[in-house]
Amino acid sequence: MAKSLHLTAFMRPVSLHTGAWRYPGAYADANFNFQHLKSFAQKLEAAKFDAFFMADHLAVLNMSVEALKRSHTVTSFEPFTLLSALAGVTEKIGLAATASTTYDEPYHIARRFASLDHISGGRAAWNIVTTSNPDAARNFGHDEHAEHGERYKRAREFYDVVTGLWDSFADDAFIRDQESGIFFDPEKMHVLNHKGDELSVRGPLNIARPVQGWPVIVQAGQSEPGRQLAAETAEVVFCAPRDIAGAKTLYADIKGRMAAAGRDRDHLKILPAAFIVLGETVEEAKAKRAQLDSLVHYDSAIASLSIALGHDASGFDPDGPLPETPETNASKSGRAQLLKLAEEEKLTVRQLAQRYGGYSGLAFVGTPKTVADEMEAWLAQEAADGFTVVFPFLPQGLDDVTQKLVPELQGRGLFRRDYEGATLREHFGLPRPANRFFS
């Protein structure tokens, strides 16, 4: 069968662009307005998206108050509360949530995802993160954030425990025989009794096995241990490559590691985050983006640019070209990328700062046709199995994608016209995992 794309929607915050809430016609309160979130989920479902993804952070983001006070991206609903409510007003779309292996317990996480999977009829996915924001530590009674390698070690064991807990009952354990009075067969219940280096969990889980067996496992770590965790455990990877070359390298690396781990490479879908701005013409799309970027306040934009350059840029002429600055010990690749962008697009300091402070990741800016061309190329060249779509502003940016880009992709046979199955695993073409304790 010809390859086709998978699309998930990055919905926490509803747009990652820090100026989104100021765009003309945008719903400024969308992160906390359930009626808006419900309409977004229903529109995404009508467009046959694979999943609605609620990222999560356990602290307001670690940026300066100057930047923080101007951004809508730092506050949003707790994912399970929102996704449970959305499960009741949607039927097919997957519901993915982030949950942290550093600041949570496996028993809690296993219960929440098992519950969401039952409530939604098999549509839950868990984005396993180890939490990168060190400020989270102080919200959970710790002075220090655990070290990176240590966090990933716990994450790996955590995955074994959570999936083991989901397997606590055989699929047919609950016989509910009203005649004999037997509710479940104890022969079909497994007590995990896990005692490892990091975790100690007895079990069993007090919830029947999820509809999907296990909710879909997502991973978004990009580091060496992050990629390894993905290769061993993940069924979907969210990532943030800057361009197609970087994406191909990451794709080959993760799929190669999967083979080494004895897994089928088709059982993992790699979905880079892509910021999509559409217009009737490429020029119009670029103008929309420029307008959006111009809504990023200069003070916060220049603060972000200074960090990226490793050099205080607050004294630069905002309307002049970027002056020469010496290379520093800060991120070398990030700095090089900025210099290239400033040079290629002839951006002033202000435009560069606002571009960077708005949304600095991979962007497809053009007409439905040009963006579909790019997506098709990424799919064909094994740079992606689909995308995690980041909207520029809502509702218009989401409507453009669902009403203009999706039909273009469908017309090319690159995206489903209808859901073929009922569960998120079926949307992704992933097998239902066998229960490790019961055949």
Ligand X SMILES: Cc1cc2nc3c(=O)[nH]c(=O)nc-3n(C[C@H](O)[C@H](O)[C@H](O)COP(=O)(O)O)c2cc1C
- For 420, other C-beta atoms within 10 Å of its C-beta total 10
Query: Is residue 57 close enough to count as binding ligand X by CB under 6 A?
Result: yes
Which residue in the set 19, 106, 215, 221 belongs to the binding site for ligand X (CB under 6 A)? 221
Determine the length of the chain.
439
Tokens standing for residue 189: 């219940």
The reply, when asked if residue 152 is annotated as ligand binding, is yes
CB of 130: closest distance to ligand X in angstroms?
6
Query: Is residue 228 close enough to count as binding ligand X by CB under 6 A?
Result: no
Give me the residues paired with residue 182 across strands. Answer: 177
Q: Name residues whose C-beta falls within 8 Å of residue 345's C-beta, 6 or more positions apart in sequence.
A: 351
CA dihedral 135, 23, 406, 279 (to 10 degrees): -130
Of residues 244 through 303, those in contact with ligand X by CB under 6 A are 273
Of residues 70 through 99, those in contact with ligand X by CB under 6 A are 98
Which residue in the set 82, 165, 216, 220 belongs to the binding site for ligand X (CB under 6 A)? 220
What is the DSSP secondary-structure string of 183-240?
-S-GGGB----EE-SS-EE----SSPPPTTSSPEEEE---SHHHHHHHHHH-SEEEE-
Judged by CB under 6 A, the stretch of 23-31, 188-196, 233-241, 350-358 that binds ligand X is 233-241
CB-nearer residue toward ligand X: 80 or 316: 80
The reply, when asked if residue 148 is annotated as ligand binding, is yes
The reply, when asked if residue 56 is annotated as ligand binding, is yes
Number of residues in contact with ligand X under rule CB under 6 A: 19
Which residue in the set 223, 249, 281, 381 belongs to the binding site for ligand X (CB under 6 A)? 223
Query: Is residue 132 close enough to count as binding ligand X by CB under 6 A?
Result: yes
Query: Is residue 360 close enough to count as binding ligand X by CB under 6 A?
Result: no
What is the Cα 72 distance to its own chain's centre?
Answer: 18
Closest Cα partner for 10 from 425, 399, 392, 429? 392
The reply, when asked if residue 223 is annotated as ligand binding, is yes
Report the C-alpha gap between 224 and 188 in whole angstroms. 39
CB-nearer residue toward ligand X: 86 or 322: 86
Summarize as ranges the residues that interact with ligand X (CB under 6 A). Answer: 55-57, 98, 127, 129-132, 220-223, 226, 238-240, 273, 388
Binding residues: 56, 98, 148, 152, 223
